[in-house]
């Protein structure tokens, strides 16, 4: 049955698989899991469309005990397998549910195959709170600046994904759908980038839950104007961090993000014209 309970569980499953991909070290496994998380996000979009078309309510709440932290990769895999199996008990006989079940049958087989490879049963450093950047020696002030930036930006990107996602479902023109999709895709890339950096530093954590007032926006024009200002502020934070950190590779990365934020502003201005 497609309802708010199923939506919440699928939302959590998307987050779980995405954050496992951020935390694991094996590059092949990391990429495959991230691809699976994107499949789950598409499921989430289709579920939201179905709920909206049927005038059914849903929200972005998460279960109070939901967590993505663990000391080992296999522990996270076992948790994910159990969650997917429990989800299937909520599926009906609709084409959407059948599609989701078939996708997840393959995901389950892949996860089970991981469990047969003992070499993958690695301990995870993504949650150990070490706060050390492994690729360069950073000063205490650089580490503090990077830590604060990553926590703030991870939350911001998650928030933007879910806001744009909510508005895309309610878009009234094809151009709006396209613009929102561009912004969602860009924020997914940033979420992944910052999540993987946090995992390297041992500070990976879920973003806080969004209150409905965050995404149930009544004045879209005001939201976009505010969003443009927020992007300008994000650009300034990137510039500050880039100038604070002396490591060339890190500084170059934040300059790269800074220029991406510039085009986000262009997309949001296009949306303003549509609205």
Q: Answer yes or no: same fold for 1-124 and 125-275.
A: yes
CATH superfamily, domain at 125-275: Ferritin, core subunit, four-helix bundle (1.20.1260.10)
- Is the pLDDT score of 268 beyond 80? yes
Mean per-residue pLDDT, 7-31: 97
- Is the pLDDT score of 2 beyond 80? no
Return the percentage of the chain with pLDDT > 70, whole number.
100
Per-residue 3-state assignment (H helix, E strand, C coil) for the chain? CCCHHHHHHHHHHHHHHHHHHHHCCCHHHHHHHHHHHHHHHHHHHHHHHHHHHCCCCCCCCCCCCCCCCCCEHHHHHHHHHHHHHHHHCCCCCCHHHHHHHHHHHHHHHHHHHHHCCHHHCCECCCCCCCCCCCCCCCCHHHHHHHHHHHHHHHHHHHHHHHHHHHHHHCCCCHHHHHHHHHHHHHHHHHHHHHHHHHHHCCCCCCCCCCCHHHHCCCCHHHHHHHHHHHHHHHHHHHHHHHHHCCCHHHHHHHHHHHHHHHHHHHHHHHHHHHC
Over residues 42-95, the pLDDT tens digits come to 999 999 999 999 999 999 999 999 999 998 999 999 999 999 999 999 998 999
Q: Domain-by-domain residue ranges, the chain?
A: 1-124, 125-275
Kindly report the pTM of this predicted structure. 0.94
Mean per-residue pLDDT, 7-36: 97
CATH fold of 1-124 reads Ferritin (1.20.1260)
């Amino acid at each position: 049955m497609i309802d708010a309970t199923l939506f919440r569980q699928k939302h959590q499953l998307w987050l779980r698989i995405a954050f496992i991909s951020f935390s694991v070290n094996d590059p092949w496994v990391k990429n495959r899991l991230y691809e699976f998380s994107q499949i789950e996000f598409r499921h989430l979009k289709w579920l939201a469309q179905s709920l909206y078309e049927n005038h059914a309510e849903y929200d972005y709440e998460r279960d109070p005990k939901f967590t993505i932290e663990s000391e080992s990769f296999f522990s996270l895999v076992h948790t994910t397998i159990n969650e997917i199996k429990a989800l299937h008990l909520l599926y009906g006989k609709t084409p959407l549910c059948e599609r989701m079940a078939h996708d997840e049958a393959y995901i389950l087989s892949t996860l089970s195959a991981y469990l047969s490879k003992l070499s993958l049963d690695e301990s995870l450093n993504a949650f150990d709170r070490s706060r050390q950047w492994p690729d360069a020696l950073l000063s205490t002030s650089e580490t503090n600046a990077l830590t604060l930036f990553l926590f703030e930006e991870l939350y911001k990107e998650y928030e933007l994904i879910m806001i744009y996602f909510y508005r895309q479902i309610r878009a009234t023109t094809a151009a709006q759908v396209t613009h929102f999709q561009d912004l969602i895709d860009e924020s997914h890339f940033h979420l992944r980038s910052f999540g993987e950096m946090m995992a390297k530093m041992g500070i990976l954590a879920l973003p806080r839950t969004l209150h409905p007032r965050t995404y149930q926006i009544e004045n879209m024009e005001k939201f976009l104007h505010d969003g443009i200002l927020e992007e300008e502020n994000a650009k300034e934070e990137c510039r500050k961090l880039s100038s604070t950190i002396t490591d060339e590779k890190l500084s170059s990365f934040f300059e790269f993000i800074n220029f991406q934020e510039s085009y986000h502003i262009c997309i949001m201005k296009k949306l303003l014209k549509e609205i």
